[in-house]
Structure 1
Amino acid sequence: MSDTSHRRERQRERTLTEIKDFARAQLVASGPASISLRAIARDMGMTAAALYRYVPALDALVIELCTDLHNEVRIACEAARDADPDTDPVRQLLVMARELRRWALAHRPEATLIFGPPLPGVEQFHQQCEDLQCAGAQFGQIFVQPMLELWQAGRLPAVPHVDLDRLAGALPAHGELPIEVTAVFLTSWTRLYGILAAELFGQLSWAATDTEPLFEAELASFAAQIPATATPASRRNS
């Protein structure tokens, strides 16, 4: 690639970043439904036709923004994990879960966009975007990996009342991940997400002004079920 091509590509990336920055500013100011290509073009001093050379449609811009936000929250959780000297998988999970909550509450509009329902007219593109799917998978993987380490060490507890064979049949794309790990991840994430979403979207404001104790109670419940050492019942990979 020539120097001229490199410069053009760098300029294109800078412009696309600026477009996404304006979109995020709109999101923060007025919510996901406020994102407007026409308004972004106006604020950037561009024509709508010029903007479409960088972003073909609103749904493409929203997907790009969702991808960036998934990466941002993953990096924040990884940084919190890496800053903690305790490398025990359970400790890592708790640290990352707390950082996830901190990030979500500090970035409510952004968290609403990626953890709430997809915007009308955009939802059908979520499953089709490889970059977004990859970013979502990478975010999930940082929580899956410590659980896999617990399973390998014989410390991952069984999930009661879950039919593993039926679950495996419903998840044909779960790949090489042991179904026991998948079960613990999905059930744990469902409970954690439920509390976080209720707090994020104000669904518990009628009952409590501080829902952090509920979040911490869920973390404590998760940690309490994990043995400190391997147990015969939980050893699955021997």
Structure 2
Amino acid sequence: MESRRERQRAATVDEITRTARRILVEDGVAGVTLRAIAREMGMTAPGLYRYFGSHGELLRHLVAELFREITDELEKGMNALPNREIGPKFLTVGRVFREWCLAHPREFALLFGAPPPALDDEGPIDFADECGRQFAMTFMQLFLHLWEKHPFPVASDDELDPSLRAQLTRYRETVGIDLPLAVLQIFLNCWVRLEGVISMEVFGHLDFALDDAEPLFELTLRDLAEILHIPYTPRSR
């Protein structure tokens, strides 16, 4: 059972995190300084060091909270489906992910844009960290279930580019999942295309041509469904 002191500390950490996020939304990641957070909370900047050892540690905590939030949204989207087929789950996860990113562009930039200097000082955002790993495994587990139930033809390892083959071998060892290298290549290809089209929309890089990028996103989902040999169902409007 938590002591009163532990509950107070947890409440203060939660307030610091919420304050940091509010500043992130209003001013961008550059505005999320210990001094700015302390000013908002009526504290001194040195006082924050009782809760976070550095600016980078605070940002990492915020990153963890954001990954938890996205993961929860993805799981809620899947759990709301009337059936449990992999195809609808894949489409739903892609759509929910896009909706969250568009609704939270500053948070998206912190998670998927260039890491700010404070995070560089602490080391890169590591998807092996628990919250990032859980987020990534939402997509990986769907892919694994699909492969287990409906494996599709892939190239042999020997047919892959040697440099890519070596890198995919290291990646396979890192994630600890025994899959053919060509299957991992397809997974990475799908992820790059999914995050890529969302990133371009969030950062406004499609505005030169489109004022509504959802049809393009749906075309991307349809292409990915074809790669994965699952049925594509248009989103109901």
Could you say which TM-score interval applies, normalised by the shorter chain? 0.7 to 0.9
Bigger mean CA deviation after superposition, 194-203 or 119-128: 119-128
Residues 1:115 and 2:112 aligned together: yes
Tell me, what secondary structure is at the counterpart of 1:121? helix
Bigger mean CA deviation after superposition, 215-224 or 157-166: 157-166
1:197 is aligned to 199
Asked whether the equivalents of residues 28 and 109 of structure 1 are also in contact (C-alpha less than 8 Å), the reply is yes
Residues 1:28 and 2:29 aligned together: no
Pick from 140, 155, 167 the counterpart of residue 151 of structure 2.
Answer: 155
Shift of 1:180: 4.3
Shift of 1:65: 0.3
What is the distance in 2 between the residues matched to 1:188 and 1:65? 27
What is the distance in 2 between the residues matched to 1:177 and 1:136? 21
1:87 is aligned to 84
Cα 1:77–1:157, aligned 2, differ >3 Å: closer, same or farther? Answer: farther
Cα 1:129–1:12, aligned 2, differ >3 Å: closer, same or farther? Answer: farther
Pick from 4, 8, 12 the counterpart of residue 7 of structure 1.
Answer: 4
2:16 is aligned to 19
1:176 is aligned to 177
Q: Output the amino acid matched with 2:130.
A: C
Shift of 1:21: 0.7
Deviations 1:141-185 (A, max 9, x none): 111112111211233453798547434334241312413442222
Asked whether the equivalents of residues 126 and 132 of structure 2 are also in contact (C-alpha less than 8 Å), the reply is no
Cα 1:133–1:206, aligned 2, differ >3 Å: closer, same or farther? Answer: same
Bigger mean CA deviation after superposition, 182-191 or 75-84: 182-191
- Where do 5+ consecutive residues of structure 1 fail to align? 230-238
What is the distance in 2 between the residues matched to 1:129 and 1:55? 19
Cα 1:12–1:173, aligned 2, differ >3 Å: closer, same or farther? Answer: same
Shift of 1:209: 0.8
Q: Output the amino acid matched with 1:98.
A: R
Pick from 107, 130, 134 the counterpart of residue 130 of structure 2.
Answer: 134
Tell me, what secondary structure is at the counterpart of 2:175? coil
2:73 is aligned to 76
Shift of 1:137: 1.2
Shift of 1:128: 7.5
1:144 is aligned to 140
1:50 is aligned to 47
- How high is the sequence identity, in percent, across the aligned residues? 36
Asked whether the equivalents of residues 55 and 61 of structure 1 are also in contact (C-alpha less than 8 Å), the reply is yes
Asked whether the equivalents of residues 148 and 181 of structure 1 are also in contact (C-alpha less than 8 Å), the reply is no
Bigger mean CA deviation after superposition, 161-170 or 47-56: 161-170
What is the distance in 2 between the residues matched to 1:24 and 1:228? 38
Tell me, what secondary structure is at the counterpart of 1:155? coil
1:188 is aligned to 190
Computed over aligned residues only, the root mean square deviation of the Cα atoms, in angstroms, reads 2.4
Deviations 1:114-143 (A, max 9, x none): 11110023224244768x722111111111
Asked whether the equivalents of residues 90 and 146 of structure 1 are also in contact (C-alpha less than 8 Å), the reply is no
- Where do 5+ consecutive residues of structure 2 fail to align? 232-237
Cα 1:167–1:153, aligned 2, differ >3 Å: closer, same or farther? Answer: farther
Shift of 1:111: 1.0
2:213 is aligned to 211
Q: Output the amino acid matched with 1:20.
A: T
